[in-house]
């Protein structure tokens, strides 16, 4: 052994005692011995070698090794212990790029294969394809789902040069100028992209390559999502944003474990999580389930940080507050802003009257081009023919029809209805003690849904009074009125009988006729609550004590019972045709909007109409946003099977997870291409059998934590 070998051996043995290996950086760092005389090279790990002493077993002597070590240091100073470049590692390329690209291509192949096989409208394409066309025609419509998914379908139809003239009737053939293949392929992209997101999600969970491939192939060949992604539906978009939400949650978990949620990278992933939540909830409300999962995790994390703040020194107050602020902004405000923005775009695009007019407020209807509202004279009088809309969370028109309550008074039903027809028409009559009856007759009017009936065809017989001034008597704040249903001649009344649904309030019914009405329970006192101002200067000085169509918000107080005509937001069951419940409620809060009403259509031939065109007040976005969302919720709740009707296509909730039944998506005649929706047996049964194992593992883990103590 040469003297240099001996010197290096001694150096290695001594420096190992002072060195530290950092696994995160794969580099060796050496803590140099302190020296009072440090040169420019003193920070180099090998600089201490110049002054080391070699102790021989036989004798100790100082050996100068400056020249030899200088040469060694100059040759090795640029060397470092590190991993080879990731770009030169073929396994890195395979795992992170080649594998997901191949799996994505496979997903695209099986989803786009024969996407044009059926040139007919299949299943819910009849709804969502039509809704996309409404955006192109800018016609207002109502649906139970938020607008983002339908806006994207409208975008696909716009890019496909669709002109919106095909109405997407179920089973109908697509016209030749309708590029339905592009529309379906656009929707299919969201289903395809679920595969790479699921792949990277598996990698971030720390699964092996084999498990990652298994999960990715499960997503590719899962038959439910594969089939649904072939059509113009919302399900692929919903699934894509759900998967991105879960992917972001896994990223947040990893950042939380490394205590980096307040870093720039942490804020980025919190923001992306908020965007994903906003998108998934803006497609369908089913997205609230994945939102709930993320919410549980965030609450759990904040509870741990609260414990650390109170019981340990690991959390400072400033950091704790930053954690709360960052989550409120990114996971609450950002999703809400995205959700509200979708409705803002929805209202901005749909500027023409359409099929959904009857389910929105009067002010929003009046702002649409081509609306059917008959403004009429600007003041309402006795004898006026009106329709009346609720200001509550179910903003529909008051309505009656020749069907009685099955219990309670068993008199004719009073409901609210989201569509315009002649059963929404009511006449304003004098109170009983005036001894007068309004005697106005109304001719057919094409603007009122081509109604061919008039008051001479009803059961109403009115005394004709020859005092013209009585016909021009205006209805004002504090006046008493009676409301007569035009089609059946009965009067709106209430009595101390519990309402069918909201049993803590009184039932409202339609009963009797105007000639025999002599009870105060048929009479209602007007209470004016608010007047919306028209932007036109010609209508700025309207009498605030009078009832004006469109702009006056008022309450109706029953003269006998002292309760107010109100809506509950509930829907009647099948016997009430799923229409809205109307009650009489005792309300001490003047701003209880469920008791507020406004007049929508107004006809009175004896009153003078304004010379200038009336310009209604503009609708308020947040009010319309709230009302439309409540209407969506009420309609969703009404979408339940009728127990009195047999539906051979219906199924129970437990049948789908075990593949007991599927869903027929189209007609089943011999000349039709048939689609049947059912899950992949292997993946479904594998998932069902894995669930008890997962519960068992979680249970053992919980027992372990309880036994050994939870380490926060």
Distance between CA atoms of 116 and 673, rounded to whole angstroms?
A: 11
pLDDT number for residue 698: 77
In this predicted model, which residue has the larger pLDDT, 50 or 99? 99
Residue 513: pLDDT band (50, 70, 90) is confident
Q: Average pLDDT in the 257-284 region? A: 96
Percentage of the chain modeled with pLDDT above 90 = 59
- What pLDDT digit, counting tens, does each position of 642-700 carry? 666 656 667 777 887 888 888 888 888 888 888 988 888 888 888 878 888 888 777 88
Give the number of other Cβ atoms within 10 Å of residue 453's Cβ.
14
Q: Average pLDDT in the 339-345 region? A: 97
pLDDT number for residue 54: 41
pLDDT number for residue 10: 45
For residue 195 the two structure tokens come to 């595969």
Residue 695: exposure state from Cβ atoms within 10 A (0-12, 13-18, ≥19): exposed
Q: Indicate whether 580 pLDDT > 60.
A: yes
The answer to whether 84 touches 131, Cβ cutoff 8 Å, is no
pLDDT number for residue 481: 95
pLDDT number for residue 443: 47
Residue 415: pLDDT band (50, 70, 90) is very high
pLDDT number for residue 647: 64
pLDDT number for residue 17: 43
Q: Average pLDDT in the 187-196 region? A: 97
Q: What is 450-488 written as a DSSP string?
A: T----GGGSS---PPP--HHHHTPBPBTT-EEEEEETTT
Q: Out of 61-75, 210-224, 457-471, 512-526, give the one with best mean pLDDT.
A: 210-224
pLDDT number for residue 375: 87
Q: Average pLDDT in the 173-201 region? A: 96
pTM value > 0.85: no
In this predicted model, which residue has the larger pLDDT, 73 or 413? 413
- What pLDDT digit, counting tens, does each position of 237-260 carry? 999 999 999 999 999 999 999 999
Distance between CA atoms of 309 and 316, rounded to whole angstroms?
A: 6
In this predicted model, which residue has the larger pLDDT, 415 or 458? 415
Nearest to 253 by CA among 287, 292, 297: 297
3-class secondary structure per residue, 387-430: EEEECCCCCCEEEEEEEECCCCCCCEEEEEECCCCHHHCEEEEC
Q: Indicate whether 450 pLDDT > 80.
A: no
Average pLDDT, the chain: 84
- What pLDDT digit, counting tens, does each position of 109-129 carry? 999 999 999 999 999 999 999
The backbone torsions φ and ψ at residue 406, rounded to the nearest 5 degrees and listed phi first, read -75, -10
pLDDT number for residue 86: 54
Give the number of other Cβ atoms within 10 Å of residue 1's Cβ.
6
Q: Average pLDDT in the 494-517 region? A: 91
The answer to whether 570 touches 529, Cβ cutoff 8 Å, is no
Q: What is the CA radius of gyration of the chain?
A: 37
Q: Find all residues with CB under 8 Å of 259, minimum gap 6, and list them.
A: none
Q: Indicate whether 23 pLDDT > 60.
A: no
Q: Average pLDDT in the 14-30 region? A: 42
Q: Return the C-alpha torsion angle 33, 38, 41, 46, nearest 10.
A: -20
Q: Indicate whether 464 pLDDT > 70.
A: no
Of the ranges 46-50, 135-139, 193-197, 396-400, which one carries the lowest mean pLDDT score?
46-50
Q: Indicate whether 324 pLDDT > 70.
A: yes
Q: Indicate whether 152 pLDDT > 80.
A: yes
The answer to whether 152 touches 259, Cβ cutoff 8 Å, is no
Residue 76: pLDDT band (50, 70, 90) is low
Q: Indicate whether 447 pLDDT > 60.
A: no
For residue 155 the two structure tokens come to 């975008």
- What pLDDT digit, counting tens, does each position of 285-321 carry? 999 999 999 999 999 999 999 999 998 888 899 999 9
Q: Indicate whether 582 pLDDT > 70.
A: yes
Q: Indicate whether 82 pLDDT > 80.
A: no
pLDDT number for residue 494: 95
């Amino acid at each position: 052994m040469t003297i240099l070998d001996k010197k290096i051996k001694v150096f290695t043995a001594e420096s190992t005692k002072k060195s530290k290996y950092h696994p995160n950086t794969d580099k060796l760092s050496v803590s140099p011995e302190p020296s009072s005389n440090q040169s420019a090279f003193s920070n180099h790990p090998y600089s201490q070698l110049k002054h080391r002493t070699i102790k021989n077993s036989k004798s100790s002597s100082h050996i100068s090794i400056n020249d030899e070590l200088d040469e060694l240091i100059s040759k090795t100073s640029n060397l470092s212990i590190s991993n080879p470049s990731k770009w030169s590692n073929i396994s890195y390329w395979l795992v992170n790029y080649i594998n997901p690209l191949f799996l994505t291509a496979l997903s695209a192949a099986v989803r786009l294969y024969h996407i044009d096989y059926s040139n007919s409208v299949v299943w819910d394409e009849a709804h969502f394809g039509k809704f996309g066309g409404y955006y192109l025609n800018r016609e207002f419509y109502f649906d139970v789902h938020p607008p983002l998914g339908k806006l994207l379908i409208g975008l696909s139809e716009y890019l496909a040069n669709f002109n919106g003239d095909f109405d997407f009737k179920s089973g109908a053939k697509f016209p030749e100028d309708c590029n339905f293949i592009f529309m379906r392929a656009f929707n299919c992209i969201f289903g395809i992209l679920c595969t790479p997101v699921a792949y990277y999600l598996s990698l971030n969970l720390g699964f092996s390559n084999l498990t990652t491939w298994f999960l990715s192939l499960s997503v590719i060949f899962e038959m439910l999502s594969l089939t649904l992604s072939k059509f113009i539906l919302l399900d692929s978009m919903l699934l894509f944003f759900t998967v991105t939400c879960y992917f972001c949650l896994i990223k947040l978990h990893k950042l939380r474990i490394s205590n980096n949620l307040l870093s720039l990278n942490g804020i980025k992933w919190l923001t992306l999580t908020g965007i994903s939540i906003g998108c998934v909830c803006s497609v369908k409300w089913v997205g609230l389930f994945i939102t709930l999962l993320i919410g549980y995790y965030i609450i759990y994390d904040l509870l741990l940080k609260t414990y650390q703040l109170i019981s340990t020194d690991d959390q400072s107050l400033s950091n704790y507050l930053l954690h709360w602020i960052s989550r409120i902004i990114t996971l609450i405000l950002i999703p809400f802003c995205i959700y509200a923005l979708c409705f803002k775009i929805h209202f901005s695009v749909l500027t023409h009257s359409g099929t959904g007019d009857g389910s929105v407020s009067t002010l929003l209807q009046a702002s649409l081009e081509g609306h059917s509202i008959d403004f009429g004279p600007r003041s309402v009088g006795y004898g006026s023919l009106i329709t009346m809309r609720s200001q509550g969370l179910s903003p529909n028109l008051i309505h009656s029809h020749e069907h009685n309550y099955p219990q309670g008074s068993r008199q004719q039903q009073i409901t609210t209805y989201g569509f315009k027809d002649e059963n929404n028409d009511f006449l304003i009559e004098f109170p009983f003690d005036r001894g007068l009856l309004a005697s106005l007759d109304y001719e057919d009017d094409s603007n009122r849904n081509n109604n061919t009936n008039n008051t001479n065809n009803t059961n109403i017989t009115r005394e004709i009074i020859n005092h013209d001034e009585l016909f021009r008597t205006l209805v004002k704040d504090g006046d008493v009125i009676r409301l007569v249903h035009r089609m059946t001649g009965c009067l709106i009344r209430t009595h101390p009988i519990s309402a069918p649904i909201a049993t803590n309030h009184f039932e409202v019914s339609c009963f009797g006729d105007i000639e025999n009405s002599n009870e105060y329970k048929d009479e209602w006192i007007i209470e004016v609550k608010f007047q919306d101002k028209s932007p036109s200067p010609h209508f700025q000085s309207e009498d605030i004590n009078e009832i004006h169509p469109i702009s006056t918000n008022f309450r109706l107080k029953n003269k006998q019972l002292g309760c107010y005509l109100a809506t509950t937001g509930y829907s009647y069951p099948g016997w009430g045709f799923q229409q809205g419940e109307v009650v009489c409620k005792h309300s001490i809060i003047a701003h209880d909007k469920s008791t507020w009403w406004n007049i929508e259509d107004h006809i009175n031939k004896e009153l003078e109409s304004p010379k200038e065109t009336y310009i209604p007040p503009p609708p308020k976005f947040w009010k319309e946003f709230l009302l439309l969302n409540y209407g969506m919720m009420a309609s969703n709740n009404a979408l339940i099977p009728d127990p009195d009707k047999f539906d051979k296509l219906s199924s129970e909730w437990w049948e789908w997870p075990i593949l007991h039944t599927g869903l027929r998506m189209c007609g089943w005649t011999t000349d039709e291409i048939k689609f049947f929706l059912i899950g992949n047996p292997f993946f479904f049964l594998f998932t069902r059998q894995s669930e008890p194992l997962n519960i068992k593992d979680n249970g053992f883990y919980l027992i372990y934590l309880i036994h050994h103590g939870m380490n926060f």
